[in-house]
Amino acid sequence: MRIYEYEVKDLLDQAGIPTPRRELVQDPAQAQAAAARLGCPVALKAQTLIKARGKAGLIQFADTPQQAGELAASLLAREHHGEKVASLLVEEKLALAGELYLGVVVDYTNCRPVILASRSGGMEIESLAELDPDRLLRLAVSPSQGLTPDQAQVASRFLADGDVAGELAKVVSALYGMFVQRDLEMLEINPLAITKDGQVVALDGAAAMDGDALWRQPELVKPRNQSQEEFEREADFQRRGWSYLGLGGDIGILSSGAGITMAILDLMRMWGGRPANFLDTAQMDRQGIYDAFQIFRDQPGIKTVLVNIFAGLNRCDLLAEGIKDFLGEYKPAFKLVVRMAGNREEEGKRILEEIGVSPIRELEASVHKAIEVTEDQR
Amino acid sequence: MSILAFKDTQVLIQGITGGAARHHTENMLAYGTRIVAGTRPGAAGQEVCGVPVYDSVAEACAQHRIDASILFIPAKFAKASALEALKAGIKLLVMVTEHVPLHDAMVIMEEKQKQGAVIIGPNTPGMISPPEKAILGFVPTRYFIPGPMGLASRSGTLTYELVSRLTAAGIGQSTCIGVGGDRLVGLRFAEVLLKFEKDPQTRAVMLVGEIGGTMEEEAAELVGGGKVTKPVIAYLAGQTAPEGMKLGHAGAIVDGGRGAMKTKIEALEKGGVLVARQPAEAIDLARKALE
């Protein structure tokens, strides 16, 4: 889960890593006032979760407060990969002597953090890793011991020679500390600038949080690029252990388990069906399946809902009762296709047949059926 | 034979007094697993399904030979419990817990490496060795029969789907392992393959993979390099997932540009793994591999 640049910079401040003076603004008047306070020239940086803003023209420079206001107006009207620009950082523009790269990522194969460092900052680090791997330092860190002072020295000397290396070693240590303390999956400063007067400053930062550690990072939990309603729905799903994704087609999918849900999406797409969305519920019971159906209700684009139940630990009869509860209360506009197999399958089948739903036993047959009844409605 | 869990494997249940743990302990005992002890701080002297409960892993280990521990422990306490078991010298851990924080998992795996232990999970339904009547976890036992197919999977529900079809086709299983659905897991496909290669009962292996990560590519290299001579079948979920969503960013550097479905399938086929495009095809390939 990505967080915004301005959030990363606030966290960098708290970690003791120098950042430029800046203000977060939401409208052109604020931008103009901020530019006047900070002193021009200033940088205006659109706050988006997806980066690569430079190429998209989402970072601009203003020589006067008035120009800052005008540029802010145009930036705040922009979209970036479907994300509306809602705020900007107005930031002092520094005179730079050099740009470095410094990051911490996780090596999932070897189960440990890795420090990445390069003297070629400012460019995308993937390109650098491909173009010139020798110019990229990779330093594996022991998760239990943390970054050692020696390792911080190695990284800082890789980044620069001379006096500034001492300052850089502090930044490397502080960055690693922040990576651990904030439960981050990824943290990078790119570029990490050296100013003409020899200061080290984090010009841009990116970070991703670990969704499984939010309970101990409560201050990082807030809506980002979503309405309060969407945010609360997501939090509710998280509490229930559900995952939901919109896909834009016309067949809704309710299934249990990420692997089988992905397999259903594969089969559906291979055979010409268009998934509208999917809901993956970890555990399903009578109330759970009733609640889950509410998500598909009142979505006009959905013509069919395919339910897949392979009850290993769950019980088909209880799930069938949940479906019966729902259909007893609502008359959904969509057609329903149920695949049901496993624990108490016969009882579940009987309950569904009583209300006019014939469950299908085989997975593939149910996907074919869902596509077929959807085509009939087109 | 099987791998990792056997008839005489003596098992500890950490967090045995919880509702789910009790229920699954009862099921595991009924199947044949030798559960000899449980832990729960403050509950020493109690019994669950006739199994004695101790305050700590060390106390349980003082009274019993413990070969494996299953952790029914909430995510917040998973790190402390796993470290407790590893430091007590237990060499096989099954971590069923979902949502273990990444930084906790890294510390656990480092200790595992240091102790020379094996960790299955986190986020796994566990494992089962049908010929040995041993289940460590909560896969639905009625779908499993003894036989020659070894299986390792990143997905619980997809495992049940495929195993029920193998069983219906008369293909039994030597051992089935859910390695876990998280990006960071303790036991990787490549390590499982080497264990199956050495097991005389296993005649072929099925890998159930997913988009993302590099486990499939590592397995492909092993098979391609001749380290695994038994037939290997793979079925991967997420084949039609949209390419556009680029995940890793800087993280992709340490993965060396691997992880996409296309590179996974190419690597597997190049290594000589039989790749099924659909579940039904996986069963056909398994049948042919065993002919």
Whether A12 and A159 share a structural domain:
yes
Residues of chain B by 3-state class (helix, strand, coil), percent to 5: 40, 25, 40
Chain-centroid distance, C-alpha A32: 31
Closest-CA distance of chain B to residue A376, Å: 24
List, for residues A34-62, the tens digit of each pLDDT value: 999 999 999 999 999 988 898 899 999 99
Q: Do A143 and B278 touch (CB under 8 A)?
A: no
- C-alpha distance from residue B269 to each of A283, B143, B209, B219, B263 (Å): 35, 29, 14, 11, 10
Give me the amino acid identity at A241: G
Q: Per-residue pLDDT averaged across A298-303, rounded?
A: 85
Residues A249 and A219 in one domain: no
CB-CB neighbors (< 8 A) of A262 in chain B: 210-211, 237-238, 241
- B70 CA to chain A: closest CA distance, Å? 18
Average pLDDT over residues B246-265: 63
Q: What is the CATH number of the domain that holds B90?
A: 3.40.50.720
Distance from CA of B157 to the nearest CA of A (A): 6
Give A370's contacts (C-beta < 8 A, 6+ positions apart).
A251, A268, A273, A304, A306, A337
Task: State the complex-level ipTM.
Answer: 0.92
Mean pLDDT, chain B, rounded, equals: 93
Which of the residue ranges A43-47, A186-190, A282-286, B32-36 would you say has the lowest mean pLDDT? A282-286
pLDDT at A134: 80
d(CA B206, CA B201): 14
Contacts of B30 (CB under 8 A, 6+ apart): none
Task: Indicate yes or no: CB of B254 within 8 angstroms of CB of A364.
Answer: no
CB-based contact B101 A262, cutoff 8 Å: no
CA nearest A250: which of A150, A375, A87, A81? Answer: A375
Q: Do B214 and A257 touch (CB under 8 A)?
A: no
Res. B246 pLDDT band, cuts 50 70 90: very low
Give contacts of B278 with chain A, Cβ < 8 Å: 266-267, 270, 364
Check A4, A101, A176, A290 and give the catalytic one: A101
Q: What is the pLDDT of residue B254?
A: 58
**Residues of B carrying an active site annotation:** 249
pLDDT of residue A294: 86
Do the chains contact at B237 and A266, CB–CB below 8 Å? Answer: yes
| Residue at which a domain ends, from B92, B120, B148 | B120
Q: Are A26 and A87 in contact (CB under 8 A)?
A: yes
- Distance from C-alpha of A236 to C-alpha of A291, rounded to nearest angstrom: 12
pLDDT at B245: 42
Phi-psi region of B132 (alpha: psi -120 to 50; beta: other; left: phi over 0): alpha
User: What average pLDDT score do residues B222-251 get?
Assistant: 78
Distance CA B140, CA B162 (A): 13
Q: What is the mean pLDDT of residues B257-285?
A: 91
Domain contains B47: yes
Beta bridge partners of B42: none
Closest listed residue to residue A158, CA positions, set A105, A96, A102, A97: A102
Kindly report which listed range (A206-220, A275-289, B132-146) carries the lowest average pLDDT score: A275-289
A265 and A366, same domain (yes or no)? yes
Q: How far is CA A81 from CA A72, A75, A231, B230, B249, in A?
A: 19, 14, 20, 46, 16
Q: What is the DSSP letter of A146?
A: B
Q: Which residue has the higher pLDDT, B206 or A233?
A: B206
The rounded distance, in Å, linking the Cα atoms of B122 and A324 is 35
Q: Are residues B279 and B166 in the same domain?
A: yes
Q: What is the mean pLDDT of residues B242-267?
A: 64
The residue type of B138 is: F
Give residue-wise pLDDT tens across range B135-177: 999 999 999 999 999 999 999 889 999 999 999 999 999 999 9
pLDDT more than 90, % of chain B: 86
Nearest to A351 by CA among A320, A327, A325, A322: A320
Closest approach of chain A CAs to the CA of B272, in angstroms?
22
User: Which CATH number do you get for residue A57?
Assistant: 3.30.1490.20
d(CA A129, nearest CA chain B) in Å: 7
Q: Which residues of B touch A258 (CB under 8 A)?
A: 155, 181, 210, 237
Q: Are residues A335 and A199 in the same domain?
A: no
Look at B157 and A185 and tell me if their CB atoms are within 8 Å.
no
Same domain for B41 and B154, yes or no, is no
Residue A73 is part of which domain span? 21-93
- What DSSP character marks residue B130? G
Residue B244 pLDDT exceeds 50: no
Give the mutation candidate from A212, A261, A307 for the B interface (greatest B CB count, under 10 A): A212
Give the per-residue pLDDT at B275.
Answer: 97
Query: Which chain B residues contact residue A125 at CB under 8 A?
Result: 250, 253
A113: domain CATH number is 3.30.470.20
Nearest 5°: the CA angle A212, A109, A12 is 50
Where does residue B123 fall: left (phi above 0), alpha (psi -120 to 50 degrees), or beta otherwise?
left
Q: How many alpha carbons fall within 13 Å on the CB side of residue A18?
A: 13
Taking an 8 Å cut-off on Cβ atoms, the answer to whether A106 and B254 are in contact is yes
- Same structural domain, A182 and A242: no
CATH number of the domain enclosing A269: 3.40.50.261
Encoded tokens for B221: 């290299």
Instruction: Give pLDDT tens digits for A240-253.
Output: 878 888 888 999 99
Which DSSP category does A94 fall into? Answer: P
Do A5 and A139 belong together in one domain? yes
In the prediction, which pLDDT does B247 show?
Answer: 38
Q: How many domains does chain B have?
A: 2
Q: For residue B285, give its domain range.
A: 139-290
Classify B283 as helix, strand or coil. Answer: helix
pLDDT of residue B249: 41
Chain B contact probe: residue of A111, A187, A316 with most B CBs at under 10 A = A111
Q: With respect to residue B127, please indicate whether it lies within any of the assigned structural domains.
A: no
Q: Which of A188, A290, A321, A345 is catalytic?
A: A188
Q: Does the structure show a pLDDT above 70 at B78?
A: yes
Total CB pairs under 8 A between chain A and B: 155
Residues A272 and A360 in one domain: yes
* B251 with A210: Cβ contact below 8 A: no
- The rounded mean pLDDT for chain A is 92
Rounded average pLDDT over A263-275: 95
